[in-house]
Amino acid sequence: MHATRVLVVDDNAFGLSTLAGALAGRGLDVRAAGTARDAHAVALEFRPAVAVLDLDLGPGPTGIDLARALRRSFPAIGICILTSYRDPRLAGIGTPELPDGALYVCKADVADLTQLERAIGQVARTPLAARTLSAMTSGPTAALTDVQVEVLLAVGAGITTAEIARQRGVSASAVEQTISRICERLEIPRNSSLNQRVQLVQALNRLRGQVAAG
C-alpha cells in the first residue's frame, strides 16, 4: 500500500522541518514548502492527497488562500489548517470561508503526533465531508462578533481608543463600550489595579498561541 502523500506548508523553517520530519518518520510520504508559491509548484509535481497548511504564511497569500488554490487544482485534496491561532479571525482576515471539508486544527489542541495523524487520515478519507469551524461555534472567541474581533486586534496593535473611533466612524465612548463587552466575553475581570488594555493584549497573545512579552 502506498504511503499517503502529504504536503506540509509553513513559513517557519524550523517548525516546517520538524513537522515534516516527524510525519515522514510515521511512514507518510511528505514534501515541504515554505511559501504559497513554492507549495503550489511542489503540489503540481507531487500531487498530494492531503495538504497540512499553516494559517499565517507571512506576507502574501494566507494558508486559506493556498487551500482554495490547491482545491481548484486538486478537487479531492484533503485540507488541514494547522495553526496556533485559536480563531482564524485573529489573523486579521475576517470570517474565513474554508474549502469544503477543510479541518481547522489549533496546535494547542494537539496533544501528540498520533492525534495529528488521525486528522490527516480523516481529511484523506473524506476530503469533502461537511465540517464546521469549531473556533466559531465554541471556545473563548466564539461569542465575539467580527466587529469586536476587529477592535480587539486594533487594541493589540496599540491603536488608541480615539483613533479606533475615528477609523470606525463612531464615538470614543462606543469603542470603550465595545472593549468592555470584549472583556466580559473573554472573562477578563474588572480590576482597578490592572490595565485593561494590557490584559486584552495578553489575552490576544494567548489566543494567537504567542507568549506575551515580559
Per-residue pLDDT at 213: 40
Q: What is the pTM of this model?
A: 0.88
Point out which residues pair with 29 in neighbouring strands: 5
Q: Mean pLDDT lowest for which of 46-60, 106-120, 124-138, 156-170?
A: 124-138
Q: Mean pLDDT lowest for which of 25-29, 97-101, 175-179?
A: 97-101
Cβ neighbours of 198 (radius 10 Å): 12
Nearest by Cα to 22 from 115, 103, 109: 115
What gap in Å lies between CA 104 and CA 80, rounded to an integer? Answer: 6
Residue 63: partners with Cβ closer than 8 Å, 6 or more residues away: 9, 53, 54, 55, 56, 57, 81, 83
Distance of CA 122 to the CA centre of its chain: 19
Looking at the predicted structure, is the pLDDT value of residue 214 above 60?
Answer: no
Question: With bands split at pLDDT 50, 70 and 90, how would you rate the model's confidence at 45?
Answer: very high
Tens digit of each residue's pLDDT (9 = 90 or more) over 5-19: 999 999 999 999 999
What gap in Å lies between CA 93 and CA 113, rounded to an integer? Answer: 28
Please say whether the beta carbons of 101 and 123 come within 8 A.
Answer: yes
Looking at the predicted structure, is the pLDDT value of residue 212 above 50?
Answer: no
Question: With bands split at pLDDT 50, 70 and 90, how would you rate the model's confidence at 176?
Answer: very high
Residue 30 identity: V
Looking at the predicted structure, is the pLDDT value of residue 2 above 60?
Answer: yes
What is the mean pLDDT of the segment spanning 21-40?
95
What gap in Å lies between CA 80 and CA 36, rounded to an integer? Answer: 15
- Domains of the chain by start residue, with CATH: 5-136 (3.40.50.2300), 146-207 (1.10.10)
Looking at the predicted structure, is the pLDDT value of residue 94 above 50?
Answer: yes
Per-residue pLDDT at 1: 47
Per-residue pLDDT at 134: 72
Looking at the predicted structure, is the pLDDT value of residue 62 above 50?
Answer: yes
Residue 135 identity: A
Per-residue pLDDT at 136: 64
Per-residue pLDDT at 180: 93
What gap in Å lies between CA 64 and CA 57, rounded to an integer? Answer: 10
Per-residue pLDDT at 148: 95
Average pLDDT, the chain: 91
Phi, psi (rounded to 5 degrees) for 29:
-90, 105
Question: With bands split at pLDDT 50, 70 and 90, how would you rate the model's confidence at 162?
Answer: very high
Nearest by Cα to 6 from 67, 45, 49: 49
Looking at the predicted structure, is the pLDDT value of residue 84 above 70?
Answer: yes
What gap in Å lies between CA 155 and CA 197, rounded to an integer? Answer: 7
Per-residue pLDDT at 211: 62
Q: Which set of grid coordinates corresponds to residue 162?
A: 480615539
DSSP state, residue 39:
H
Handedness of CA 11, 55, 83, 188 (dihedral sign): positive
